[in-house]
């Protein structure tokens, strides 16, 4: 590789970091830059629910110190958003008006909280939890709250409900079983989820979807249920999984659908542009279709694999789910979701 190669990775999550680590390991000379619009250092997302209830501090979420990037000569640009990618010029534009040139680019931009279209009228009153920035807002609001309503959900919502209960909050869970993410709940799993939530002291309502309105009232909020009944609460949280962060790629010529479309070697349609992790939609030759990936372990594995492919060491993705996800005693078959001890 010529010395003036510049590998740029957008995204400071597990996909981006494992790609950066692999690149550094395999190519000690290369110039590597990791850009992310989040200001926080690489952190454990699964601990975020605990953080929202004051159970840990930001430093407990941190995976590695800034120093380790310096030592590995990985230029870390945090709090810097890529606004535009121009593959023809191999050029990125950052939000603070700076150009960055790359020779190879990895998109590891993850996903943001998915919001339901029929919640659009009151979306401003719903709290989400896709990362640490959200978590800071939720934590602040949680301090004054004793009663919470969770609309959802997804795998994260269950972890959150558990922590909220442990912290002594009253939790009502309005279960949108057909919209559960990443898989809609089959009868059997729904029962299992409900049972588990009940055992935590969470009140589960499985016949109250969709909520038709949320409006502020006094210090809290009032929800309107489909039957017109109203319910008051201190805080309403919305958990419906995630959507890949691909909007900034519009007009770039990089093919996207739900996520960034990549082949079995994680290559996009544009030369030297790769994608991995939650933002990627990967071609599965067996299914003859694309699938969106989710989960920490998945992102990590894909980051490494993408880096290897970028370096020309062809490595094809393993399509079989590695793990059966189990959370709070509920078993959900899903690809790649990782259980943390």
What is the binding site for ligand FAD (CB under 6 A)?
Answer: 10-16, 35-38, 45-46, 48-49, 81-82, 108-111, 129-131, 156, 245, 248, 277-279, 294-297, 299, 337-338, 340
- Residue 11 or 244: the one with the smaller Cβ distance to other proteins is 11
C-beta of residue 250 within 8 angstroms of C-beta of residue 164: no
- Considering CB distances under 5 to 8 angstroms, the limit depending on partner class, which of other proteins, ligand FAD, none binds residue 194? none
- Considering CB distances under 5 to 8 angstroms, the limit depending on partner class, which of ligand FAD, other proteins, none binds residue 108? ligand FAD
C-beta of residue 105 within 8 angstroms of C-beta of residue 80: no
Residues that bind other proteins (rule: CB under 8 A) add up to a total of 18
- Supply the minimum distance, in Å, between the C-beta of residue 69 and other proteins: 9
Identify which of 316, 309, 248, 306 has the alpha carbon closest to the alpha carbon of residue 277. Answer: 306
- Supply the minimum distance, in Å, between the C-beta of residue 80 and other proteins: 7
- Considering CB distances under 5 to 8 angstroms, the limit depending on partner class, which of other proteins, ligand FAD, none binds residue 77? other proteins
C-beta of residue 52 within 8 angstroms of C-beta of residue 138: yes
Quick one: tokens of 232? Answer: 């008051």
DSSP 173-208: EEE-GGG-BSSPPPHHHHHHHHHHHHHTTPEEESS-
- Considering CB distances under 5 to 8 angstroms, the limit depending on partner class, which of other proteins, ligand FAD, none binds residue 82? ligand FAD
Question: ω into residue 293 within 30 of 0, thus cis?
Answer: no
- Considering CB distances under 5 to 8 angstroms, the limit depending on partner class, which of ligand FAD, other proteins, none binds residue 186? none
- Supply the minimum distance, in Å, between the C-beta of residue 241 and ligand FAD: 10
Q: 57-116: which residues touch other proteins (CB under 8 A)?
A: 66, 76-80, 93-101
Q: At what angle do helices 155-166 and 187-199 cross, to 10 degrees?
A: 20
Quick one: tokens of 45? Answer: 């997302």
The residue length of the chain stands at 341
Footprint of other proteins on this chain (CB under 8 A)? 39-41, 66, 76-80, 93-101
């Amino acid at each position: 590789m010529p010395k003036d190669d510049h590998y740029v990775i957008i995204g400071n999550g597990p996909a981006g970091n494992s790609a950066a680590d692999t690149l550094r390991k395999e190519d000690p000379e290369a110039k590597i830059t990791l850009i992310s619009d989040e200001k926080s250092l690489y952190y454990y997302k699964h601990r975020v629910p605990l953080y929202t209830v004051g159970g840990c501090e930001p430093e407990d979420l941190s995976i590695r110190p800034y120093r380790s990037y310096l030592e590995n000569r990985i230029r870390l640009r945090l709090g810097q958003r890529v606004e535009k990618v121009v593959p023809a010029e191999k050029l990125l534009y950052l939000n603070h008006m700076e150009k960055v040139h790359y020779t190879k680019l990895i998109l590891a931009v993850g996903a943001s909280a998915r919001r339901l279209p029929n919640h659009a009228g009151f979306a401003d009153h719903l709290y989400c939890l896709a990362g640490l920035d959200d978590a800071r807002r939720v934590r602040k609001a949680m301090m004054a709250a004793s009663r919470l309503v969770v609309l959802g959900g997804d795998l994260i919502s269950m972890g959150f409900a558990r922590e909220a209960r442990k912290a002594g909050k009253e939790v009502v869970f309005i279960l949108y079983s057909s919209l559960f993410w990443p898989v809609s709940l089959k009868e059997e799993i729904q029962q299992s989820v409900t049972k588990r939530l009940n055992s935590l002291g969470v009140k589960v309502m499985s016949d109250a979807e969709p909520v038709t309105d949320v409006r502020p009232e006094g210090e809290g909020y009032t929800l309107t249920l489909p039957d017109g009944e109203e319910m008051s609460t201190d805080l309403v949280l919305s958990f419906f999984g995630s959507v890949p962060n691909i909007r900034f790629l519009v007009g770039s010529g990089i093919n996207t659908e739900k996520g960034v479309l990549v082949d079995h070697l994680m290559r996009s349609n544009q030369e030297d542009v790769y994608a991995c992790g939650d933002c990627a939609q990967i071609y599965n030759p067996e299914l003859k279709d694309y699938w969106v990936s989710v989960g920490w372990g998945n992102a990590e594995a894909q980051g490494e694999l993408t880096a290897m492919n970028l370096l020309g060491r062809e490595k094809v993705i393993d399509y079989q789910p590695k793990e059966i996800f189990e959370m709070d005693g509920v078993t959900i078959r899903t690809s790649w979701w990782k259980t943390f001890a």
